[in-house]
Amino acid sequence: MGFFEAFLGVIIFIIVVSILSSAIKVVREYERGVIFRLGRLIGAKGPGLFFIVPLVDKFVKIDLRIVAFDIPKQRVITKDNVSVDVDAAVYYRVFDPSRAVVQVENYLHATNLLAQTTLRDVLGQVELDELLTKREELSKKIGDILDTYTDPWGIKVVAVSIKDVSMPESMLRAIAKQAEAEREKRSRIIVAEGEYIAAEKIAAAAKLYMESPFALRLRELQTLTDIAREKNMVVVTTTTEAGDIGKMAALVKGLLEKEGK
């Protein structure tokens, strides 16, 4: 009899310890415990130590920290019919543990699937150039759309990051050719602008020479002087040319005096 009582006492002790251990719950600062009693939602508790009713209450632990997951590589056809593969990542956190448990069966899986479809929908509405040059704007747009859908689940989408956009080799060669053509186009525009300015100056000089024969003659003499200096020659002018030079000197003097006034 004594042995049976001792054995029974041990069994009861084990049962009591087991019940107490299942009744005591501890959650960390970044966690919350969602409690269901007989199938009905009681609410979220924590952080710290609290008790539940064994065999009556069900306890679900939820992490409130920011969690990141990679979106599987998505094949996207852009608005200008270019096929690209896009890698992205989503950062989210649970802000309402009760809704995260009640409103959706598996909030991580649901958010991942939603991110895939949203990524394809948004990027399919833009052209390739915009996809390559406006990643931040497109990432923010995807994040805002995701956050709108996940808010009823108690999920906050913190950020979306488009990590990589890969294209077929043929498309990369086509883009390189396009960039080279654009550089050549800019170079030709610069050369054409320079030639246009030079032509304007030549036209202005021609007009001046036509209106003033003395100016034309002075330019001729200046050119001859430059040639003579290079060839070590002496320029000899005729009497008529000397008279023209005198007239030109008088003309220059008059212009200088006029400017001085």
Give per-residue pLDDT as tens, 116-126.
999 999 999 99
- Dist CA 210 CA 225 (whole Å): 22
State the helix-helix crossing angle for 213-231 and 169-211, rounded to 10 degrees.
110
Class of 67-167 per CATH?
alpha beta
Residue 206: its pLDDT value, please? 63
255 confidence band (pLDDT: 50, 70, 90): very low
Average pLDDT over residues 194-212: 69
Whole-model pTM? 0.62
Domain locations along the chain? 20-63, 67-167, 169-208, 212-261
Give per-residue pLDDT as tens, 141-160.
999 999 999 999 999 999 99
Helix, strand or coil, per DSSP, at residue 86: strand
Q: Which tokens in the block code for residue 151?
A: 């808010």
pLDDT > 50? residue 137:
yes
Per-residue buried b or exposed e for 82-102, using 16+ beta carbons within 10 Å of the residue's own CB:
bebebbbebebebebbbbbbe
Query: CA dihedral defined by 200, 205, 207, 212, rounded to 10 degrees?
Result: 170
If one compares 199 and 101, the residue with the highest pLDDT of the two is: 101
36 confidence band (pLDDT: 50, 70, 90): very high
